[in-house]
Amino acid sequence: MRSSCRVLLLTALLNCSGLAQTTATPILTLDLTKIQGKVSPILYGLMTEEINYSYDGGLYAELIRNRSFRDNGRGQPFHWFIYETGNADASMAMDTSTGPSAALPISAAVTVRAANEKEQAGITNEGYWGMRIDPRTTYNGFIYLKASSANMGPVQVSLIHNSNGEVLAHTTIPAITSNWKQYPFALTSGASSASSENRLVFSVSRPGRIWFGLSSLFPPTYHNRKNGNRIDLMQTLADMKPAFLRFPGGDYLEGSLIDNRFQWKKTIGPFEDRPTHRSPWGYVSSDGMGLLEFLEWCEDLHMEPVLGLYAGYSKQQRVQTEKELEPFVAEALEEIEYVIGDVHTTWGAARARDGHPEPFALHYVEVGNEDYHDLSGSYQMRFPPFFQAIRKKYPQLKIIATTPVHGEAVPDVVDDHFYRTASQFFDDNTHYDQADRKGPKIFVGEWATIEGGPTPNFNAALGDAAWMTGMERNSDLVIMSCYAPLFVNINTGGTQWQPDLIGYDAMTSYGSPSYYAQVLFSNHLGDEIPGSHLESAPVRFFYSVTRNSKSGTMYLKLVNASDQPRPIQLQILGGTSISQTGKRFLLSARSPLETNSIEKPRSIVPVEGTITDISRHFAHTVPPYTIEVLEFGTGR
Ligand code: AHR
C-alpha cells in the first residue's frame, strides 16, 4: 500500500510541476541480452486423485454407480433400487455368498413374486447424479447374471427418462442360466434430446430369483478408449497443454490405513479382478481408473506420468521398521516394471496381457505424499530404502521426495505444497527468487489459492496467476508444478474439498477462472527467461517474461490484482527486430468475487485481441483485476 501511495503522490507532484506523467510510471525493462535461465519444458502439468468424484462420477466415463455392488448399507446396495411396473412385486437383498468372481463375491439377489410381459420387475441404477444420454448414440455394456432356474426368461435392458418414463433405448438379453455368466449388450438411443435425467433398468417378466452382479455401461469415450474417459473433460484438460500427470495422489495414494492405500495390483486387469476399495475421501472407488488407465490417460494427452509410489505411510497408520518396509519397496519396483518393463519382464508381460505391450515413457517417480505430516519423522528412515532400490534398478529415473531428506539418499527433486489465500500468494511472490540453486530441484506438486467454491473465484485466479509468475521466473529451479485438486462433481455430496479447478455434473462441465489463468500461462510459454527488472513496482502487480529462443517470440505475463488500472512503461533491450504488433490475451473480471459456474460457465474467459504500438519503449496499461499475456516477436 505504501509504495502505491508513493507512486500516486509522485505522479501528482509531477503533474503539478508540468512534467510528463510518464516519468512517474513504473518502468519494466526486458533485457534479451541477459538470459537468466531456461524454462523447464515440463513446468505445467496436472495433479489427480480420486477426490470429489474425480473419476467415478467424473472423468471416468462409466455411467453405472456402484457397478460392483460393493457400496452397501443395511443389506441394500446404494444407488440401485427395485423397479416394478403395474402390479409387479419384487424385493432385493445383498448376497455375500455368491458373485461373479473371487474378487467380487457379492451380488444383489432379487426375488420376483409377481411379473408378466406388461408388468415387469427388476432393478434400476440412478447413475452419478443422473445419466447423460445423447440422441442417436450407442452405449456399450455388460452385466453378470445368475437365475434360480433356467425358466427365468429374457432380461430387458432399458434406458428410461426419470420423469416421463420414455424408453430412450432398449435391448434384450436372451434367457439366462443358473450359473454366473457375463452378458454383453448395446443400447442405441433414439431422437430424444440430450438429458441426464435418466436411469438404467434391468427387468424380467416372470417370477423367480435372479442375482445381479458386476455391470458396466459406457458412452462413447475420448479417443474411443475401451473403459475410457469423458470427452468434454478430456478436451478441457487437453486445452491446458499439460506436460505431465502426477497420480494417484495425494491422500488417495496413502489411504487412511495401509490396507486401503492405492494397491495398484488390485486396479489392473478385467473389472472382475478389481475388488474396489474405500478411499480416504469417504467413498468406495470402483478402481475402474486403475494403473493402466492412468497411463493411457497420459498417452491420450501426451503427458508424461509422474508416478506416486506408496511409501509405508497412511493417514492413520504407518510401517514401523525397515524390515516392515521391504514388501512395499518390492511393490514399488514391480509397479515401475509394470510401467516401463519390456514384455519379457514379469510385470511388463502383465501390462502386455492387459492390452499395452509397449512400455510407457517414465522419468519421474515420487516416494510417498506429504510425509511431513508424519510427525514421527519416519520418512528419514523410509525414503532411503526406496531411493537406493530404485536408483540401483532404474538409474535413469529421477526420484522425488515429499520433504527434504538428510543423509546420503539425496533426492533429485523435492515436492513443495501450497494451499493459501490470494493475499498470501501476493505477499510471497518472490518465494523462490533467492532459493538455493545447489540442492534438489523443486516440484510444486500441489498448490491453489483457497478462495471460492466449489470452484475458485476471480480473486483466486489472481492469486494463482501471481504465484505462477514467481514459478515461471524461477523455472530453472521449479521444474514442475500442478494445481490441486483438479476436479469436482458439483452435486450435493460430490465435494470433499474446495475449491477445485474444473467443475461438472452428469451433463456438462466448466473451467473456473483459475483454469483459464492456467490455460493462458501454459499456452504462452517460452524456453528461456530473459533478464527483467520492474522499477517502482505498483502494489498487487506481478509479471513474468519468457521467450522462445528459436522463434524469438516473447511472452509477457502481467497480473494486476488491484482495483486500479496500472500504467507501465516497457523498455526492451536486445532482440534483432521488435514487431510492432502482437497478440494480447485478457482475462478480467469486474469484481474479484466474480466466478464461473455450471449455470454460467463462461462469465470469465480469456479474450484475444491485438496490440499495435509495440516498440523498444512503449506505454501500456493493464486494466484492474486482469491477467494479461502479451505475445510479440523480438527477432531470432
Ligand atoms: O489436494 C487435496 C489433498 O491435499 C491431497 O490429497 C493431499 O496431498 C493434500 O493434503
Instruction: Find the 138 Cα to ligand 1 centroid distance in Å.
Output: 37
67, amino acid identity: R
The topology (CATH level 3) of 80-218 is: Jelly Rolls (2.60.120)
For ligand 1, atom 3, name the residue with the nearest CA. 250
pLDDT at residue 41 tops 60: yes
Question: Which pLDDT value is given to residue 150?
Answer: 85
Instruction: Find the 310 Cα to ligand 1 centroid distance in Å.
Output: 15
Q: Which residue carries 505462477 as its cell? A: 468
Atom of ligand 1 nearest to the CA of 280: 6
Instruction: Find the 445 Cα to ligand 1 centroid distance in Å.
Output: 10
Question: Which pLDDT value is given to residue 50?
Answer: 98
Cα separation of 426 and 541, whole Å? 9
Instruction: Choose one of 369, 449, 450, 495 to mutate for the ligand 1 pocket test, by most ligand atoms within 8 angstroms of C-beta.
Output: 369
Give the pLDDT confidence of 106-149 residue by residue, as tens digits: 999 999 999 999 999 999 999 999 999 999 999 999 999 999 99
- How many Cα atoms sit within 13 Å of 200 on the Cβ side? 33
Instruction: Choose one of 49, 400, 443 to mutate for the ligand 1 pocket test, by most ligand atoms within 8 angstroms of C-beta.
Output: 49
For ligand 1, atom 6, name the residue with the nearest CA. 250
* pLDDT-derived band at 21, boundaries 50, 70, 90: very low
pLDDT at residue 369 tops 50: yes
Same fold, 23-42+526-633 and 80-218: no
Instruction: Find the 341 Cα to ligand 1 centroid distance in Å.
Output: 30
Cα separation of 635 and 633, whole Å? 6
Cα separation of 442 and 435, whole Å? 10
Give the pLDDT confidence of 83-114 residue by residue, as tens digits: 999 999 999 999 999 999 999 999 999 999 99
Q: Which residue carries 473433460 as its cell? A: 233
Q: Average pLDDT, stretch 37-63?
A: 98
For ligand 1, atom 2, name the residue with the nearest CA. 485
Give the pLDDT confidence of 283-309 residue by residue, as tens digits: 999 999 999 999 999 999 999 999 999
Q: Mean pLDDT in the chain?
A: 95
Question: Which pLDDT value is given to residue 14?
Answer: 35
pLDDT at residue 478 tops 50: yes
Question: Which pLDDT value is given to residue 8?
Answer: 37
Atom of ligand 1 nearest to the CA of 369: 8
Instruction: Find the 54 Cα to ligand 1 centroid distance in Å.
Output: 13
Instruction: Choose one of 251, 261, 449 to mutate for the ligand 1 pocket test, by most ligand atoms within 8 angstroms of C-beta.
Output: 251
Atom of ligand 1 nearest to the CA of 419: 4
Residues whose beta carbon lies within 6 Å of some atom of ligand 1: 49, 51, 249-251, 369-370, 446, 484-485, 497
- The residues with which 533 forms a beta bridge, in sequence order, are 29
- The residues with which 156 forms a beta bridge, in sequence order, are 172, 203
Instruction: Find the 462 Cα to ligand 1 centroid distance in Å.
Output: 22
Question: Which pLDDT value is given to residue 535?
Answer: 92
For ligand 1, atom 5, name the residue with the nearest CA. 250
Instruction: Find the 403 Cα to ligand 1 centroid distance in Å.
Output: 14
User: Which grid coordinates are listed for 121?
Assistant: 420387475
Give the pLDDT confidence of 405-419 residue by residue, as tens digits: 999 999 999 999 999
Please report, to the nearest 10 degrees, the dihedral formed by the alpha carbons of residues 169, 175, 179, 181 taken in order. -40
Task: Show me where the domains of the chain are located.
Answer: 23-42+526-633, 80-218
Share of the chain above pLDDT 70, in %: 96
Burial 259-291 (b: 16+ CB within 10 A, else e): ebbbbbbbbbbebbbbbbbbbbbebbbbbbbbb
State the DSSP string of 334-364: HHHHHHH--TTSHHHHHHHHTT--SPPP--E
pLDDT at residue 423 tops 80: yes
Q: Residue 135 CB: number of other CB atoms within 10 A?
A: 12
- The residues with which 24 forms a beta bridge, in sequence order, are none
For ligand 1, atom 8, name the residue with the nearest CA. 250
For ligand 1, atom 4, name the residue with the nearest CA. 250
In terms of Cβ atoms closer than 10 Å to its own Cβ (0-12, 13-18, 19+), residue 57 is: buried
Instruction: Find the 331 Cα to ligand 1 centroid distance in Å.
Output: 23
Cα separation of 491 and 184, whole Å? 31
For ligand 1, atom 9, name the residue with the nearest CA. 250
Atom of ligand 1 nearest to the CA of 484: 1
Instruction: Choose one of 252, 481, 497 to mutate for the ligand 1 pocket test, by most ligand atoms within 8 angstroms of C-beta.
Output: 497
Whether pTM > 0.75 for this model: the answer is yes
Question: Which pLDDT value is given to residue 636?
Answer: 84
What phi, psi does 514 have (nearest 5°)?
-65, -35
Contact criterion met (CB below 8 Å) for 45 and 306: yes
Instruction: Find the 279 Cα to ligand 1 centroid distance in Å.
Output: 13
In terms of CATH, what superfamily is 23-42+526-633? Golgi alpha-mannosidase II (2.60.40.1180)
Instruction: Find the 514 Cα to ligand 1 centroid distance in Å.
Output: 18
Cα separation of 314 and 333, whole Å? 19
